[in-house]
Structure 1
Amino acid sequence: PLSRGSLDWDEPLLVANLSERTNACHIGCQDLESVNSTCDERCNRLVAIDSCMQGCRAVSDIFLHQIQDLLYHVSISIDGEDAQGISTTWKFDEVYGTVISEISATDIQWAVQSRPFGSGSPWQITILEEKAFKEDSMQSKIVVPSEFASEIEVRLCIFWRSNMVVSRPIRQSI
């Protein structure tokens, strides 16, 4: 790849031919194979560092877009409220089972954010169990803090590395 807005290769990278750049990009695309990114270590050993970093970025972007697309398809039901909080059930259709299996193979953390509807208050985060959505039911139950409001807004989150991806806010009556 060329630098943004550039028409020429960076001087030290003139020695890398197309094959070396393609291979470097493929090496960068292996970044999902570890819990934390290893791009810097792998790419700094290559001549075509920028091509390797482009591969790292591409695979990361694709993975985050896959998560975002999945979160658009979640549904929620309120099961009730008691002294412990508001019991919620989050569910995906069966067709998303393969996608959930793929992203769950990485080191992700599921969570729910909640707050009173229309309050503008900061989101409260409740972490789901590690086995969330990993069973055949494609659903997960979690109790979120009671908000003492007639309506709440909630959203499902996935944390991956230093990224947080959220579903659209869902308004629910209690």
Structure 2
Amino acid sequence: MSQSTSVIGAAAVFAVALGTLVAGEARAAGPTGACLLTPEVVRLSGTQSAPGSRGSMTLTQPGSPFEITVDEGGFQTFDIEIQVEQMRKRRGAVYVAWAAKPELDEWVQLGTLGEDNRLAGRVAWNQFLIFVSEEASADVERWQGPIMLTGLSPSGRLHTMAGHGPFEAMNCQLYY
């Protein structure tokens, strides 16, 4: 067998494998043809104001023919479903979910938890925090009450090693 024949054979095997993969994605995509990434489940942890509280947020990618949806600024867009499994609630209080950039210089209110302790929203930041605050009213522009639950986007866990371990003499804040 010549070298060109084996290259053509390898290309044919690759084409069949690629065709199978693409066909499999098309079947999994549903009627719109948009492929969604696997949902990411992130734990929400109770703070000192709500010890023992816990919940989760499920991040999914909104449908798109390009698999990843971005907003007009180029930030990846996530649909978020928040579910609180356990949290002591105070009578008359409203529990508001927020998303914020890690520096807390920008934030958005996602809404209030429903009777079923769930909330759905959308965030378009590459790295973000999610937190739930206890408020007297849902009509607040910025959280005022205690933070009850917190969580961090998967990309928010990326961090430089400057300032840690063998690099403790370096200030990691210089790298942000």
The structure with the greater share of residues assigned to helix is 1
* Greater RCO structure (CA 8 Å; 6+ sep): 1
User: Which structure is larger by alpha-carbon Rg, 1 or 2?
Assistant: 2
The TM tier, using the shorter chain, reads 0.3 to 0.5
Q: TM-score, normalised by structure 2?
A: 0.40
